[in-house]
């Protein structure tokens, strides 16, 4: 998996005008801006075979209009004490999928449907900050239109996407782009209510990302949600501003898995992500540069404990990949599976270096 250097959460807009995530809609087009086969009429050939009329030709513009009309009613605006974000109606029971950094530390919210009407009260069901996902539930379930969540594993680079959400508080906004890359691993910056999530298998898109879009929907021309827009890349040359045309979304397959666990159990019981079983922090050298990840605590019975890793050790690399910071370690582990073996290079307090083999456990959930 590839990792991206600078990213910024795309959560709130409004009062605090915080960075926001992208929303998009996938559109598979064939031919020059046309979807569908050329029209034909019934006629009998010399062989006696009768052809049937083909499906009507749909222009690219008509395809966009159809998807927007289908998906937009499922997009909501979520107002919190700190600003606003977006969400996607998950079911008729009032559950809404959004980003953990959108809800932050709030427990109560106001939800406004894209179709209008008075704000509805909603409460937090559970938040999963490590994966930047959350489920809230509205009390008034009338008129809710659940979105259809598709299979993000079938995405292909080059598919056209539309971004739907509430950028800068402009409800029901739509932008377009393409799926630029798949399988990215991106790490969010830490902030209020967020420990700095590491998102695996992220979808990279060129659809515009603006504050307030986070938690919206990335969908395909079939009207299926295939991602939850979350991050915008940061361009250091622009003073830390968002890099145009580089945004990231959580795959729908991950969002569905997390949503089902939270709705059923009230929390994420299986993250499906690997863990060493340690509590760590970044160690900085005399020059102020990070040199490794210091082990502050080792969980009893964990893979790290069984491999002999102790507090005070510094993790230098995993499977040959340098881990100068805690965020880098998270990104490396995100590409591994629970139960797998990992070679962990250590720097001991006495100056010795050593490499041990750790059988990875499962990262704890919410």
Catalytic residue among 132, 206, 208, 317: 132
Give the chain's count of helices (H) and strands (E).
Answer: 5, 27
Which two tokens mark 309?
């890793």
Residue 139 CA: distances (Å) to CA of 88, 108, 110, 217: 15, 11, 10, 22
Query: Is 59 annotated as catalytic?
Result: no
Cβ–Cβ < 8 Å for 323, 278? no
Structure tokens at 230: 């979350």
Active site annotation includes 132: yes
Longest Cα–Cα distance in the chain: 90
Cα–Cα separations (whole angstroms), residue 268 to 130, 260, 322: 10, 9, 30
Query: What is the dihedral angle through the alpha carbons of 238, 240, 245, 248, rounded to the nearest 10 degrees?
Result: 170
Q: Which of 74, 95, 101, 253 is catalytic?
A: 101
30 is catalytic: no
CA 92 from chain centre, in angstroms, equals: 23
Q: How far apart are alpha carbons 59 and 132 in whole angstroms?
A: 36
Structural element, H or E, at residue 327: helix 326-334
* Residue 298: exposure state from Cβ atoms within 10 A (0-12, 13-18, ≥19): buried
Positions marked catalytic: 101, 132, 214
């Amino acid at each position: 998996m590839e990792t991206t250097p600078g990213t910024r959460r795309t959560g709130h807009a409004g009062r605090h005008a915080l960075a926001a995530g992208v929303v998009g809609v996938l559109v598979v087009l064939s031919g020059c801006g046309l979807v569908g086969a050329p029209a034909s009429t019934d006629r009998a050939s010399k062989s006696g075979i009768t052809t049937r009329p083909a499906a009507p030709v749909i222009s690219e513009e008509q395809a966009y209009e159809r998807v927007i009309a289908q998906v937009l009613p499922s997009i909501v605006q979520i107002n919190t004490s700190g600003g606003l974000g977006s969400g996607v109606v998950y079911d008729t029971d009032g559950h809404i999928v959004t980003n953990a950094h959108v809800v932050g530390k709030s427990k109560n919210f106001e939800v406004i449907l894209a179709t209008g009407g008075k704000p509805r009260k909603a409460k937090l069901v559970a938040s999963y900050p490590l994966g930047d996902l959350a489920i809230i539930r509205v009390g008034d379930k009338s008129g809710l239109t659940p979105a259809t969540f598709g299979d993000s594993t079938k995405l292909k680079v080059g598919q056209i996407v539309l971004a739907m959400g509430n950028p800068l508080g402009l409800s029901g906004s739509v932008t377009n782009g393409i799926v630029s890359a798949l399988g990215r691993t991106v790490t969010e910056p830490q902030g209020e209510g967020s420990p700095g999530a590491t998102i695996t298998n992220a979808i990279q898109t060129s659809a515009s990302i603006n504050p307030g879009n986070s938690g919206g929907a990335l969908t395909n021309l079939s009207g299926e949600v295939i991602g939850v827009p979350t991050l915008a890349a940061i361009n250091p040359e622009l003073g830390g501003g968002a890099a145009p045309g580089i945004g990231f979304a959580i795959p729908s397959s991950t969002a569905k898995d997390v949503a089902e666990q939270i709705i059923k159990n009230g929390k994420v019981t299986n993250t499906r992500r690997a863990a060493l079983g340690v509590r760590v922090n970044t160690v900085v050298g005399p020059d102020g540069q990070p040199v490794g990840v210091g082990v502050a605590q080792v969980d009893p019975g964990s893979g790290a404990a069984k491999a002999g890793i102790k507090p005070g050790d510094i993790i230098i690399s995993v499977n040959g990949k340098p881990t100068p910071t805690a965020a880098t370690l998270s990104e490396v582990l995100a590409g591994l599976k629970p139960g797998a073996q990992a070679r962990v290079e250590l720097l001991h307090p006495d100056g010795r270096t050593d490499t041990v083999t750790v059988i990875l456990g499962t990262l704890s959930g919410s």
